[in-house]
Chain A
Amino acid sequence: MFMKSYKPNARAGLMTGIAVAALTISGVMASAETVRWARVADALTLDPHSQNEGPTHTLNHHIYETLVGRAVDGSLTPSLATEWGISEDDENVWVFTIREGVTFHDGSPMTAEDVVFSLDRARTPPSGMAALHAAVEEVTAVDATTVHVRMSGPAPLYVQNLTNTFIMSKAWAEANGVETAPNFAAGEEAYSVRNANGTGPYVLVERDPEVRTVLQAFDGHWNDAPAVTEIIYTPISEAATRVAALLSGEVDIVQDVPVQDIARLEQTEGVRVVRGPENRNIFFSYDMSSETLASSDADDNPFTKPEVREAMALAIDRNAIRQVVMRGESQPSAAPLPPFVNGWTEEMDAFGDPDLARAAELMAEAGYPNGFSVQLDCPNDRYLNDESICQALVGMLARIDIRVDLNAQTRSLHFPLIENWETDFYLLGWGVPTFDSQYVFDFLVHTREGSYGSFNGSRYSNPDLDAKIQSLATMTDLEERDAMIAEIWDEVMEERIFLNVHNQVLAYAMRDNINLDVHPENQPKMTTVTFD
């Protein structure tokens, strides 16, 4: 008799019942509600500036707060800053009004000094956030509630870079020897990796990396008390186990729902699935500049020919990829830009039906009546169904005699190929954390030099376009700037630098009495949870 009756969800079910009863009787928020939240990976660290990584930010957003937040529709919301704007006296200076009456979890008040300290810590290497603050020259506290950030030039969109830069206590950091973000080369663990003192809505109670993190609502928080008073956060890396844990009632919210399980979960009683577009596009790109391709049997580089790029765009069947590979869970589009990002237009996303006859004509015109061969490099553990998307493309391009040899491998082998220009043809996914097109241009379109073009694997280089892209950074007239963005996009789409597939869609599954919206950056906040 070794199978003892064990009902993991019995008590939780009872608690939910009590909470629901309390809601209906009193009409106010339930007094105690625990949410058990599972996702694929744990935060790498609790240090607020060490890693610029999704799951790390997502958890830290509950403990720490930023100056400005990001709502589910992508707009900016006040958080520790109540107001922000460019100084009227100096267009190089951003002015932030700091919220009054905010306290850290240890009881000390948050001051403008803490904001200055945090921004300085975030922009100093080895902080992982430094690149987002590269244009900052100086941060100063003008008075108790005003912070000035002086930029090296006009930076009209700098505030967009602040949505993941957390504010920490200067005194706490100094007391614990973590005045700078932890360094990999340091050889020892920093105090801030497993301890935290933020101003956020939840206080860290227990941190067991990769096992369990427990957070409790912070009594002294400046905002309204959240409906969720306790969070138990558990990483479950195996997809089948994660779904099983939800079905067995051991967790309440599952963040990373595998595409193939969505339909089944929707039909399960007591489970709700919500979905929404993620701020991430999936596209192919190719070497548009080398004389010859290493992996091709063609004598020259076919991707330099506009006809070939157009033929490929006519051969890809985005709707088929959506239906077959993504099981309906994607938004096919022609432009590598999520819809909520500044600069997106409906026209650039539109695409026609595949036209193989025309594509074949174009291939012949370009001088490849018998096609050519090429290797396609693809990650197999980074994006939703990434390898299957590549396999689908292989079949589609075969119809216009482009013989594709698929090389699918793990992300740590795939991305260096793009970084080192060792791939002729590759898949890449790109999110736009600043919610502005300039971010796409800077990293993917601009010639590779300095901080520009680090993910420009196409080797595309156009000095005219580079100049336009650089001018975006300092344009303060937003209308003029938007016109420039549209102009750049016209050229990028005309040149077909990207063969875009779709916009990724996120799905969260949860008990059906829980309401939580999909966050475009996949950073759900438990403060936004409500219960039916």
Chain B
Amino acid sequence: MTAFILRRLVQSVIVMLTVALVAFALFRFVGDPIASMVGQETTLAERAELRAALGLDDPFLVQFWNFVARAATGDFGISYRLQQPVMELILSRLPATLELALVSGILAFVFGVGFGVYTALRRGGWASSTIMTVSLIGVSLPTFLIGVLLIWVFAVELQWLPSFGRGETVYIGDWWRTGLLTESGRASLILPAITLGLYQMTLIMRLVRAEMLEVLRTDYIKFARARGLSNRAVNFGHALKNTLVPVITITGLQMGSIIAFSIITETVFQWPGVGALFINSVRFVDVPVMAAYLMLIALVFVVINLIVDLLYYAVDPRLRVDRANARH
């Protein structure tokens, strides 16, 4: 077990380094940060000086090595754009993104499973057909458009919910700012959470529905019904339970994408999270922030995959047996 974890950790570090390397190779195509950093009066000589001082002239392998060496000590540098330390900047924005991702993940899971079960059990009913049709919209419309549509209906026309921002926030501890404890914070969360979670919800819903239909056809369900078990016990005790294993796996893995895809939602709703920070940094060619953000996202995926692998290892005895046999 320890060897397995160690091996996975080493692999994770290699993945992180690869991500950093690819990122740095790409940064050269994003453009020149100097153009955004200085006023138009700055002479070419001064521009060149600043570029040299920031090490932007160095070959990218040198830049990469400097970055890795400093990152290893926890120093991600200072933002070109906001002149704040990058780590502090990202940590101050992270709670907003995590709260949004968590709430939309929960919404997606609860409604996804609920609608999935319902549409599987009431196949052909008008409500099921409606849900299935609407879910098609959820899959096919781009997040951006859904966000703008929701703003238009609920903020401009009905004026029920705010169109942008995070509302009032309060601190929990030293640095975690939450919007969950204030009324305007919770109201501000609703539209972005729906926007971000809609795609995942449809995905989960369709998965649950397909799995349910599959399971409902199996022999043990027929036998359960033959034994005279109540519908409730059959549908939820036997059928749903057996569909949930792949659903939980998918949901877990999707959490990573929810955090990564929050970029668009955060931009549309002016949500002050790391995704919006990243987009603004790309526009400005704020290399230190871009690098740190990509490392963070890589870390999120690596950690989630590591946890999933460990869970499989713990849950699935075949993995352990196979490994034991392989050694012979």
Contacts and interface: CB of A to CB of B under 8 A. Distances in A.
Given A240-B151, A412-B35, A189 B78 contact: yes
- Size range of the chain A interface in the assembly: 35 or more
A184 B268 contact: no
B276 to A, nearest CB: 7
A241 B269 contact: yes
A128 B39 contact: yes
Contacts of B38: 52, 128
Contacts of B123: none
Contacts of A412: 30-33, 35-36, 283-285
Contact of B159 (A7, A125, A410): A7
Contacts of A431: 40
A174 B82 CA distance: 22
Interface in B30-70: 30-33, 35-47, 50, 53-54
Contacts of B162: 6, 8, 248, 250
A247 interface: yes
Contacts of A430: 40
Interface string A169-193: 0000000000000101111111001
A263 interface: no
A238 B83 contact: no
Contacts of A223: none
A53 interface: yes
A44 B81 contact: yes
Interface string A34-55: 0000000100110100111100
A9 B276 CA distance: 25
B151 to A, nearest CB: 5
A454 B42 contact: yes
Given A44-B82, A131-B41, A419-B44, A410 B156 contact: no
A236 B47 contact: no
Contacts of B54: 184-185
A45 B81 CA distance: 8
B242 interface: no
A234 interface: yes
A161 to B, nearest CB: 9
Contacts, number: 175
B277 interface: yes
A132 interface: yes
A283 interface: no
B31 A184 contact: no
Interface string B257-276: 00000000001111010001
A357 B285 CA distance: 46
A3 interface: yes
Interface string A141-168: 0000000000000000000000000000
B223 interface: no
Contacts of B187: 4, 6
Contact of A131 (B33, B43, B267, B280): B43
Q: Chain A binding site: helix, strand, loop or mixed by DSSP?
A: loop
Nearest to A415: B35
User: Which of B39, B88, B163, B276 has the most C-beta atoms of chain A within 10 angstroms of its own C-beta?
Assistant: B163
B163 A245 contact: yes
Contacts of A52: 38-42
B278 interface: no
B252 interface: no
Contacts of A6: 160-162, 183-184, 187
Contacts of B46: 125, 131
A416 interface: yes
A244 interface: yes
B43 A193 contact: no
B27 to A, nearest CB: 11
Contacts of A50: 83
B283 A410 contact: yes
Nearest to B32: A416
A210 B277 contact: yes
Given A411-B31, A411-B35, A454-B43, A209 B84 contact: yes
Interface in B117-158: 148, 151-152, 154-156
B270 A44 contact: no
B114 interface: no
Nearest to A413: B31
A7 B156 CA distance: 11
B166 interface: yes
Contacts of A249: 159
B95 interface: no
A287 to B, nearest CB: 17
A455 B54 CA distance: 23
A131 B39 contact: yes
User: Which of B42, B77, B165, B267 has the most C-beta atoms of chain A within 10 angstroms of its own C-beta?
Assistant: B165
Interface string A211-251: 11000000000000000000000111110110011011110
Contact of A244 (B156, B183, B190): B156
Contacts of A463: none
Interface string B272-301: 100011011001110000000000000000
A451 interface: yes
A473 to B, nearest CB: 14
Nearest to B44: A454
Nearest to B33: A412
A106 interface: no
Given A238-B267, A245-B155, A381-B283, 16 more contacts: A4-B160, A128-B38, A131-B46, A189-B88, A209-B84, A212-B165, A234-B270, A235-B270, A236-B270, A237-B270, A237-B280, A244-B156, A248-B155, A250-B162, A413-B30, A416-B35
19 contacts: A3-B160, A4-B160, A7-B160, A132-B41, A184-B80, A189-B84, A193-B82, A237-B270, A237-B279, A241-B270, A244-B163, A245-B163, A248-B159, A250-B155, A412-B32, A412-B36, A415-B32, A416-B31, A450-B45
Interface of B: 29-33, 35-47, 50, 53-54, 75, 77-78, 80-85, 88, 148, 151-152, 154-156, 159-166, 183-184, 186-187, 190, 267-270, 272, 276-277, 279-280, 283-285
